[in-house]
Amino acid sequence: MIETSVTLCGIKLKNPTILASGILGISSELLVNVARAGAGAVTSKSCGLFPRTGHSNPTVLEWEHGLVNAVGLSNPGVKEEVGELKKAKIKLKELGVPLIASFFADKIDNFALLAEKLSEAKPDFLEANISCPNTESDLGRMFAAEAKTATAVIRAVKKRTKIPLIVKLSPNVTDIKEIAKAIEGAGADAISAINTVGPGMFIDIESGKPILANKVGGLSGPAIRPIAIAKVFDICSVVKIPVIGIGGVTSGKDAIEMMMAGASAVGVGSAVYYRGIKVFKKINQEIEKFMKDHQFQNLSEFRGIAHKN
């Protein structure tokens, strides 16, 4: 019998697919709908202390090989978010699908405060988004840029919550292995990687103006998958905590490749744009077919295999 469940920090997921933050995790209804569509876990859109409108439209652009976005972390603020998460948690518990609450902040102390407040909703995991690349003008340099600031966030957060902490890392750094080792040492329970690549820009050649209102945005989708796989491979070569591989996973083949690089589970984001909300079920079916064709009984039989070859 083929088994595709995974266990992260002692919490079981029916399958390795996870809704990545910022795609459909805006309301409790959407989170529940994604769970019903086959996701093994769901991640809410990153939340801050106070309501935030984000950047002006246009914020998302499709290009030949993916998407570029500069949404700017729009969210309703933690007070309303906790209410949405509480509603989602009730239904998700019935469905057996874990909830990941993502959050961001402008200061280390605010990361800790947010973690404490979000813990009231009793999500299964918290995800510290320390790596958003498109908000430097108003939120400052991303905390994932260096080990010192990244570890300071983790230590502060861990003092304020007992909920397992996932830390989201950026590919836009000099040495992601150094940062990954540092945050593991600081107490991170898992890592999600990668956030978007960039920033990148597209220009309208008729007007000569950048197309996005923010001028630049983060690249996601199929074009960044080779980068994501390389970064996940690097991270998994130096840490023992679970890694959620994110970046251009659109098919079962992509998910398998990410797990062969060492990922315990895979984040699915822009694939929803290309294949619809049922992409989670489709990816899982494709994984199961691969396993049947290659006579694998569980995911651990090929997870991290690229490190052995």
Burial readout 71-103 (b: 16 or more C-beta within 10 A, e: otherwise) = bbbbbbebeebbebbebbbebbeeeebbbbbbb
β-pairing, 66-69 vs 99-103, is: unpaired
Of 199, 183, 185, nearest in space to 128 by CA: 183
What's the number of CA atoms in the CB half-sphere (13 Å) around residue 6?
23
Task: Please identify every residue annotated as catalytic.
Answer: 132
Q: Which of 289, 284, 290, 288 is nearest to 271 (CA)?
A: 284
- CA–CA distance from 163 to each of 116, 120, 124, 135 (Å)? 10, 10, 7, 27
